[in-house]
A = this chain, B = another copy of it.
Amino acid sequence: MEKKIALLGMGTVGSGVLNILKENKDLLLNSTDELLTITHILVSDLNKTRTVDLSGIQVTDNIEDIKNAEIDLVVEVMGGLQDTKTHLLYFLEQGIPVVSANKDMLAEYIDELEHTALNNKTTILYEGAVAGGIPIIHSLTHSLNANRISKVMGILNGTTNFMLTQMADKGLEYEDVLKIAQDMGYAEADPSADVLGLDAARKTLLLARLAFKKRFKMSDLDVIGIDKVDKIDIVHGKKANMTLKLLGVVEDKSSSYHLSVAPIFVDNTHQLSNVKNEKNAVFVEGNAIGQAMFYGPGAGSYETASAVVSDMINTFNLSSKKTILPEEFGEVDQSKEQSDYYFRFSDSIESVKEVLKDYEYKLIDETDKVFIVKSISSKVYEDIQEELQVKASYQVIGAGQDGVAGTN
């Protein structure tokens, strides 16, 4: 049967969707019995030259043309916030299913959209919104569903992971690597959403919601970007067998939840340490599976479209008897658990040692006064910040803690 699909947006991901539908047409038809046909495309500029063949498709810059058409599915890859949400609500209210990869919008409106979908006996799927092609949304929903999830930790932004990898591997400074990322098209002219950690934060919020079945607000997250990262700390980290990664972390601390995005030093025996450049990975901890990790492309035209097209197939081919939507807001507590911390101080080495004398620590570099202080609480972490002049500090996720193969 033919399914008539409206594609809202014709950027990188939109083109990928069109290309996959074309290149894998036989395979998709074979596996679904549905002929997934793009009948309408919404674009912002009708005069733009397109490299993709659009014959037979009604291309419009007016959403009303699509609202008035007979459509079986809406695929939203155009970005935008409130207006986009309003359009999608309209379709859901008509009982038309939606697939979206718009993480900015979803982080804000996912609850409203999913409720509207459920009330109108239809669905909204969004695998492409988090970690590109990696099927983490579907896996949390349908494959790790026997687990009480205690932690999700991910490299969720390819741009910043590319930048941190280049700083580590090539010894480049932040400004130089930002320029390279911009030249290569990984970073926008205004890179704030990436480098300040906001993009990762939105994906982190979506993961927390699925993992814990609670609602969260963006303001629930502690967000630190990579814009203050100094090459020197990456170099010292390397000496201590650690790699700096921008991690979205969500944890169930039994009575409350911890949600954050921050650059964190990861021990080189940890699976996440080896996730390089624009790749993404999501590490999950559950009470049945223990620890698992999903690795793959965090962005890209075909790569993200792999997730979007999968959602399109599953919209027609897979149905859940029960959908649970989180109703309550999760209680958030930002205080961190006991952890190791990396510090670079500007005080004299003697005064640092004097303050740290009650704690277990390892001196990494005498000249730059770099220390790793072991197993300290949030309180002690703050005390140290007060008593000494800290030039840089990062949490350290240690060997043998997570991601390290069980035995030995």
A318 — which chain B residues lie within 8 A by C-beta? Answer: 142, 318-321
Chain A: interface size category: 35 or more
Digitize A132-171: 1 where CB-to-B-CB distance is under 8 Å, 0 elsewhere. 0111001100111111100000000000001001100100
A67 → chain B, closest Cβ, in Å? 27
State whether the Cβ of A46 lies closer than 8 Å to any Cβ in chain B: no
State whether the Cβ of A271 lies closer than 8 Å to any Cβ in chain B: yes
Question: How many copies of this chain does the complex contain?
Answer: 2
- CB pair B310 A287 closer than 8 Å: no
B-contacting 9-mer, from A25-33, A83-91, A347-355, A369-377: A25-33
State whether the Cβ of A302 lies closer than 8 Å to any Cβ in chain B: yes
Interfacial residues of chain A within 3-62, with CB under 8 A of chain B in the complex: 16, 20, 23-24, 27-28, 30-33
- CB pair A310 B408 closer than 8 Å: no
Return the contact of A309 from the options B127, B133, B146, B277 (Cβ within 8 A).
Answer: B146
Digitize A204-245: 1 where CB-to-B-CB distance is under 8 Å, 0 elsewhere. 000000000100000000000000000000000000000000
- CB pair B321 A133 closer than 8 Å: no
A302 — which chain B residues lie within 8 A by C-beta? Answer: 287-290
B-contacting 9-mer, from A110-118, A255-263, A291-299, A332-340: A291-299
Q: How far is the CA of A16 from the CA of B289 in the complex (A)?
A: 11
Q: Nearest CB to that of A403 among chain B residues?
A: B295
- CB pair A287 B407 closer than 8 Å: no
Return the contact of A142 from the options B142, B288, B306 (Cβ within 8 A).
Answer: B142
A30 — which chain B residues lie within 8 A by C-beta? Answer: 213, 324
- CB pair A145 B289 closer than 8 Å: no
A135 — which chain B residues lie within 8 A by C-beta? Answer: 139, 143-144
A21 → chain B, closest Cβ, in Å? 9
A202 — which chain B residues lie within 8 A by C-beta? Answer: none
A168 → chain B, closest Cβ, in Å? 12
